Amino acid sequence: EEPAGKFSRCNSGGEGLRAAPRTGRRRPGRGKIVATGVCHTDLYHLFEGMHKDGFPSVLGHEGAGIVESVGPGVTEFQPGDKVIPLFISQCRECRFCKNPKTNQASGRHAMMASADSRFTCKGKKVLQFMGTSTFSQYTVMNQIAIAKIDPTAPLDKVCLLGCGICTGFGAAVNTAKVEPGSTCAVFGLGAVGLAAVMGCKSAGAKRIFAVDINPDKFEKAKVFGATDFVNPKDHDKPISQVLAEMTNGGVDYSLECVGNVTVMRSALESCVKGWGVSVLVGWTDLYDVATRPIQLIAGRTWKGSLFGGFKSKDGVPQMVKAYLDKKVKLDEFITHNMTLGQVNDAIELMKHGKCSLSSVSTPLSFLLQKWPQLERRVRNSI
């Protein structure tokens, strides 16, 4: 417990970014972030989403860390606990949390840049991206938005369970509910798509089509269980037709892990009529998605999945355990290990499709030397 108003000064090369653990009824606790991944959603926020009111903000939402201090009334956590920040929280009390059909949470648990951020820089408020902000040495979280994990878990690996891997894996297992012996197609082979491939395999799929316009991704997809590889650029006809021909009418399940509405349509139309299920995982809120009604009337189901359908506080520790029990892979997703000072380079790599996931660890006091540069870039993009 700490006196109200005492703050952590993140080592910021004089820029003065601060994370203050204000006390109060929202029961925050402050944690030191040890490792973080970079996810396409950070990139989306930075370059594509262009939410004008979403800056300045500290990005990053896929991290792992250690609780440093807790506010009054926090009973679930103690300093020293290993934790994963959650961008969708689970209060266990609201209408949504109590309903086993969803992992959505009600109003106050909303995502994206949280209005009551504890970050300030030179006296000015800095937003907390997705309520987490893991590109920082310290962050302040509500206890409903952190999951306590096995103390033996390696933080530089399990940080990936804070978003991409749970998202893709759960989209296959929880949302699509892939059945043994089925045929699946995964569109987009970033970390999310590769995790979806791993989910299909773990659910017992017999054939898994990995679809990407970047053929460099196929080798990795094989590691996670893909059996067939399709590059839409190699074909003149629509990819749904190509897949229909290869599967006698279409796949049982398809997962869109790109965030492109044209691909979303192709993924739906690649499913077999009668019972095909297509899941939207890729993120965009800039465009409408469309198809002819007959596609659905003919028995296909179109669904969406947020964070793989996992109720976050329950699901993340289970996925950490599955990793420790060697039931899910994580190490294989990591293409680069970098320092927080190189976070902009990591973003650059992701932009150019050179990495499926970077694990950015923070052995020393970084981010905030680099943070002003991140802010500059953000300003240029809006």
Least gap, CB of 380 to ligand NAD (angstroms):
21
Instruction: Count other Cβ atoms within 10 Å, centred on residue 246.
Output: 16
Cβ proximity to ligand NAD, 46 vs 340, nearer residue: 46
Query: What does 306 bind: ligand NAD, Zn ion, none (CB cut-off 5 to 8 Å by kind)?
Result: ligand NAD
E strand intervals along the chain: 8-9, 17-19, 28-37, 57-58, 63-70, 82-85, 114-121, 124-128, 138-142, 146-148, 183-187, 207-211, 228-230, 253-256, 277-280, 301-304, 336-339, 358-361
Least gap, CB of 96 to ligand NAD (angstroms):
15
| 256, β-bridge pairs | 187, 280
Q: Can residue 97 be called a binding residue for ligand NAD (CB under 6 A)? A: no
Q: Can residue 212 be called a binding residue for ligand NAD (CB under 6 A)? A: yes
Q: Can residue 35 be called a binding residue for ligand NAD (CB under 6 A)? A: no
Cβ proximity to ligand NAD, 127 vs 258, nearer residue: 258
Written as one string, the DSSP assignment of 91-128 is: -SSSHHHH-TT-----GGG--SSEEEEEEEETTEEEEE
Least gap, CB of 71 to ligand NAD (angstroms):
28
150 to 169, contacts with Zn ion by CB under 5 A? Answer: 163
Instruction: Count other Cβ atoms within 10 Å, centred on residue 4.
Output: 11
The residue nearest Zn ion at its CB is 39
33 to 52, contacts with Zn ion by CB under 5 A? Answer: 39, 41
Query: What does 105 bind: Zn ion, ligand NAD, none (CB cut-off 5 to 8 Å by kind)?
Result: Zn ion
Q: Which pair of structure tokens corresponds to residue 360?
A: 């950015």
The dihedral through the CA atoms of 154, 159, 161, 164 has a sign that is negative
Q: Which pair of structure tokens corresponds to residue 92?
A: 């266990």
Q: Can residue 105 be called a binding residue for Zn ion (CB under 5 A)? A: yes
Q: Can residue 193 be called a binding residue for ligand NAD (CB under 6 A)? A: yes
- Between CA 7 and CA 119 the distance in angstroms is 10
Q: Can residue 167 be called a binding residue for ligand NAD (CB under 6 A)? A: yes
Q: Can residue 260 be called a binding residue for ligand NAD (CB under 6 A)? A: yes
Q: Can residue 97 be called a binding residue for Zn ion (CB under 5 A)? A: yes
Alpha helices in 10-117 (DSSP H): 40-43, 95-98
Among 211, 267, 268, 319, interactor with ligand NAD by CB under 6 A: 211
Residues binding ligand NAD (CB under 6 A): 39-41, 44, 163-164, 167, 187-193, 211-214, 217, 232, 257-260, 263, 281-283, 305-307, 350, 353
